[in-house]
Amino acid sequence: MRLLLDEMFPVALAEQLRARGHDVVSVHEGEFARLRAASDRDLFMAALASDRALVTENVSDFIPLEAAALAEGRPVPRMIFTTDRQFPRGQPRTFGRLVTAIDALMRETPNLAGSIFLPRR
């Protein structure tokens, strides 16, 4: 499974996951940097076009996009949802927990078929 990290996640998260052997890019780097200020719909479509699962905290905007696409019979990207409550950005240990949780999910579920809320590890 290949990932695209939404803008609330630092590039360091992509770097740490790549160091663990995963194909992960961030909207803060390379060809995906054009998506940094893009609409949620554009990010949704970019994840689909690049065959990447989108990792985001923005549940309230992406669930309706997914539901609308499914209702119209259009394909949707896989999505991995997190929340600031589950992985609080202001806490020092969060980064390591997030790396561990995403790494474990990618190893245990390499063929994610739909959307999922990232479980805490």
Above 90 in pLDDT, residue 118? yes
**Helix, strand, coil percent values for the chain (each to nearest 5):** 45, 15, 40
Chain centre distance of CA 58 = 10
**pTM of the predicted structure, to 2 decimals:** 0.94
Q: In this predicted model, what pLDDT tens digit does every residue of 18-34 receive, in sequence order?
A: 999 999 999 999 999 99
Q: Say which residues have a Cβ less than 8 Å from residue 36's Cβ, sequence separation at least 6.
A: 7, 27, 28
Above 90 in pLDDT, residue 120? no
Chain centre distance of CA 34 = 16
The pLDDT, as a whole number, for residue 121 is 66
Contact (CB, 8 A) for 25 and 14: yes
The pLDDT, as a whole number, for residue 119 is 84
- Lowest-confidence segment of 23-27, 76-80, 87-91 by average pLDDT: 87-91
Burial class (CB in 10 A: 0-12, 13-18, 19+), 37: exposed
When pLDDT is cut at 50, 70 and 90, the band that residue 106 belongs to is: very high
Mean pLDDT of the chain: 94
What mean pLDDT comes out for the span 83-108?
Answer: 92
